Structure 1
């Protein structure tokens, strides 16, 4: 854990604070504490902070009472709202108190207002950040002494911004003291005594004029492509006596505003940037640390042992060992290590294991004979120029066959013999040998022969029980209309995260579980090795042709085919998992 340094102590002032954390009042702290045991613990934590973390600073002083009140607010007013501790008082963990809450609310300017105007916390998932931030929101809503206060939770998307807000509303429902002070409404939490509200916002700053936040809580900053909404709201804080912003996030992809914030956070910690009004707290492993060592997890996760548990960590390690993508997810979301924009997806050894009988050389050449007359779903990925065209049939388990069979077809324009050899030499791919073996059909001319492909589809419809054929409308609109007219069940598969993420994750899982049989087709194996996936901030994935080193059309077509097969299964069991806007029946 890394954090900014703290401050100089001016001799204690004989004052105490009530719920207004940061304003001088006359009530004693004990009068306001519902449980003296909890307040004694808060006092002990503040004393420990003084003994172990306090660093004198000439421009600031440390207010023990304000720090104690802030720590004690959580068990007094807040409740856990999920898991086995639901309904129990929210007693801060030592790291939450010592690293975050005590310095954030304890350090003061000479005039008694808070020193820190911005708190930036980088902490992996499963460490209770949502509950912590919802408690912080309640402090600023009802305890900050701001009249007509405006507290906002913000994120890239509304559903993310609403996570902290929803947790804060649940805390109201679970806490008698809190529910006596504030009221939940459909879109806000209202504190009548100060006429203050807590709301959530997302997206762009348009339509947000006139706001004067007293507190901003920004969630999952690694997802933010820009800081426009945040800066727009922050500009409205000028009229507040001691406004405060809280930014909390895991690591993510090294791009966008989130990564800029991470870089500047490290510079503040290292002293490169002098920003005494920003408190930075970082819990992270080093990029060189072994992600499969439990000590690395303990280093990055301050709540380790409670959440995440060691059992959970070991399970995630096992997944990471089986998948490049999952290893990157572990780095980003559980160890706070920023990992690459796009990742190579499937391990060659895993792909090779999805061949029922690898002892039979070139088994793929006669594979279709084993599948005649059986139900299948297809994926069609077409090109118009010199690129490879792919048609892949996926056959769910049938009869004695327990594996999902994958039967691919590939076409590529040959061009002249010289151009073919030039392509082999430049791309270092033996298209000529694949053509000779039948792994890929080399067609005449310099452009894709869609008529030939259409005839092959009709031929396959005679051989197999074709249930549906999915296509990407970018290049296949005309052929899809003709095939549909001829009676083929054509479904348009939009190439976006909504449509492709679920079948992509299922495809990956089925490869790892050895549930496929591709009979060792060499072109498909080459494409599996080439495939790179892109992950969006929500954790959705899809194959990325632009980032992949070489062609991946066969894998894309396979995922489209699997999407149709899974969609039919889901319809039979629970209803379709995609909407008609993503799979369109022609």
Structure 2
């Protein structure tokens, strides 16, 4: 669809309520379809309206206090002004009223303390993020009722954290009212009346101990690859009555980090799949069915369209960016808030990987025939093994995957991979020493054989002589898989079809998902394909093990019956020549 220009701006009708009531008004307008918003924003608005109806019930201890919800908004509009641009007064928009009003207005009916302990604000670039961070930081240090408040502005690097902090300092310096009460130094902003202060902190800060969080605002957590700083902040709020942690970010290309975990958690909570009353989510994005080239949908990811950014400017930027693959991906990610994998050669779009996030209880796989696969490492690297199960009666497979990595690699920490989190989830074993002993893979397959019917194990013959000898001696049938275009290409195509159909069940194995996300393709002169990895530090070992197994599984998965339907064929039939 070709780009087209229009003037898009949210304006309040003459019947709009007083500003104090805009939180609920916005939710009503979105649910009624009068304000265009993403599906997840509509779900957040429905959640708010439903919770209003639950007030006063025995099972719901929260009430919505419109006055408390409006206090930080009133503070920001009265005292704060962006330091960049020609703004004489800050006027927060209805969607910002909804976010801030919800975070500060929902309180416990008995104590009056805040309901929400954490919030994810997920919006496109240039939607007033910097102003919101600065304004809420200043309110948190001065007017939030917390003596000795510690407010932290957080980023992945101190350089980035200081950019946000410098904007907050500039906001104080250009406001006579704020400058009168706040004391600004190079490294902190002090509110001496309550002995409170605002500081920048980052993952690479030299000292992260001794923090005492009242309010923490993370900037752009799409860049984070681990939970180091997040966990420090979460563990530092025990002495506070109503601490609040906010994550304000756009989408990104790091699809195995904390943002993706929070994004998926938010999707589950907003859809009602799980319940958590203490987490808030505002997720402005294009919906899966939206055309990225249709400017009419862009407001879903940019609720400030017509205020801090203009549609005509976005269209002009898109017309230029769409001609260059890297710039096109950046526009889709940052301006339309759609997760895009790094690299145009990526094997599967992120939404396709997400399509396969189903689960099958491990107990249901016991006794089913499966094919094993493994990929051995070079010295200090990942080793991976898997079992792939064709699901009887369906064109679907389930995957169990495990990896090993030496402690020496973990100690280097060059890649910011969350090794410890993977280990705690049971997806990875960190092995003492400098390399992964092949006996560990042997022991893993022997243990799995106690529960599952492993018919054969497919493998890359390079470096596998001793392991193959041991596995064969135990009684497994081993199948070498030559790592070439002719052998791997058909399996790669078949596996891709299964992913496109949402038919690969990997039980939300985050490490396997990371491997899959790192795959890109190379082709020979005949357009035959092979997988390779994206970038120097990305790994595909777990996917390589799965692909080895799939060279066998694709033959045993399904076969057309005489009537034209699909019939499951077991490995035992294949071994008996189809009898």
Q: Which residue of 1 aligns with 2:70?
A: 68
The residue aligned with 2:103 is: 104
Contact kept? 2:23, 2:102, Cα under 8 Å? no
Cα distance change, pair 260–325 in 1 and its aligned pair in 2 (3 A): same
Q: 1:204: Cα distance to partner?
A: 4.9
CA distance in 1, matches of 2:82, 2:222: 26
Displacement, 1:316?
2.6
Which residue of 1 is the match for residue 233 of structure 2? 233
1:170 aligns with 2:170: yes
Query: What are structure 2's unaligned runs of at least 5 residues?
Result: 1-16, 30-47, 55-59, 347-482, 490-522, 541-579
* 1:491 corresponding residue in structure 2: none
SS of the equivalent of 2:89 reads coil
Secondary structure class of the residue paired with 2:296: helix
Judging changes above 3 Å, is the alpha-carbon distance between structure 1 residues 155 and 91 closer, same or farther for their aligned structure 2 residues? Answer: same
Q: What is the distance in 1 between the residues matched to 2:22 and 2:334?
A: 29
- On the 8 A contact 1:218/1:247 being kept in 2, the answer is yes
What is the CA-CA distance between 1:327 and the residue it aligns to?
2.0
Question: Aligned runs of 1:521-560 on 2, under 5 Å?
Answer: none
Which has the greater radius of gyration?
1
TM superposition shift of 1:315: 2.0
Match of 2:147 in 1: 147
**Residues 289/143 of structure 1: CA separation in 2 closer, same or farther (3 Å cut):** same
Partner Cα separation in structure 1 for residue 530 and residue 174 of structure 2? 52
Displacement after TM superposition at 1:311 (Å): 2.1
Asked whether the 8 Å contact 1:62–1:107 carries over to 2, the reply is yes
Equivalences for 1:444-483 in 2 at 5 Å? Answer: none
Whole-angstrom CA distance in 1 between matches of 2:533 and 2:484: 25
Aligned to 2:196: 196
Change (3 A) 1:79 1:423: closer
How big is each residue's C-alpha offset from its partner over 1:380-403, in whole Å with a ceiling of 9 and x where there is no partner?
xxxxxxxxxxxxxxxxxxxxxxxx
Residue of structure 2 equivalent to 1:268:
269
Give the number of the structure with larger relative contact order, counting CA–CA contacts within 8 Å between residues 6 or more apart.
2
**CA–CA distance in structure 1, aligned partners of residues 324 and 162 of structure 2:** 32
Match of 2:89 in 1: 89
Q: Please state how far the C-alpha of 1:319 moved relative to its aligned partner.
A: 2.8
> Aligned partners of 1:326 and 1:219: how far apart in 2?
22
SS of alignment partner, residue 341 of structure 1: coil
Shift, 1:318, TM fit:
1.4
What secondary structure does 1:145 align onto? Answer: coil
Q: Indicate the SS of the match to 1:83.
A: coil
The counterpart of 1:45, out of the listed 22, 31, 35, is 22
Cα contact 2:484–2:530 (8 A) shared by 1: no
Structure 1 residues 276 and 321: CA distance shift in structure 2, 3 A: same
CA deviation after TM superposition for structure 1 residue 133, in Å: 1.1
Q: Indicate if the aligned counterparts of 2:214 and 2:243 stay in contact, CA closer than 8 A.
A: yes
C-alpha displacement at 1:91, in angstroms?
1.4
Contact 2:158/2:205 (CA < 8 Å) preserved in 1?
no
The CA distance in 1 between the partners of 2:164 and 2:188, in whole Å, is 12
Partner of 1:382: none
The aligned counterpart of 2:53 is: 56
The offset of 1:162, in angstroms, is: 1.9
Give the match for residue 314 of structure 2: 313
The correspondence of residues 364-379 of structure 1 with structure 2, limited to 5 A, is none
Alpha-carbon RMSD across the aligned residues, in angstroms, is 3.3
Mapping 1:248-287, distance limit 5 Å: 248-253=248-253, 254-287=255-288
Distance 1:158 1:530 in 2: 40
What per-residue deviation string (whole Å, max 9, x for no partner) do you get for residues 235-267 of structure 1? 111111111111111111122222222211212
TM-score with structure 1 length normalisation?
Answer: 0.51
C-alpha contact 1:131 1:164 (8 A) present in aligned 2: no
SS in 1 for 2:248: strand
Q: SS at 1:343's partner residue?
A: coil
Aligned residues: 327
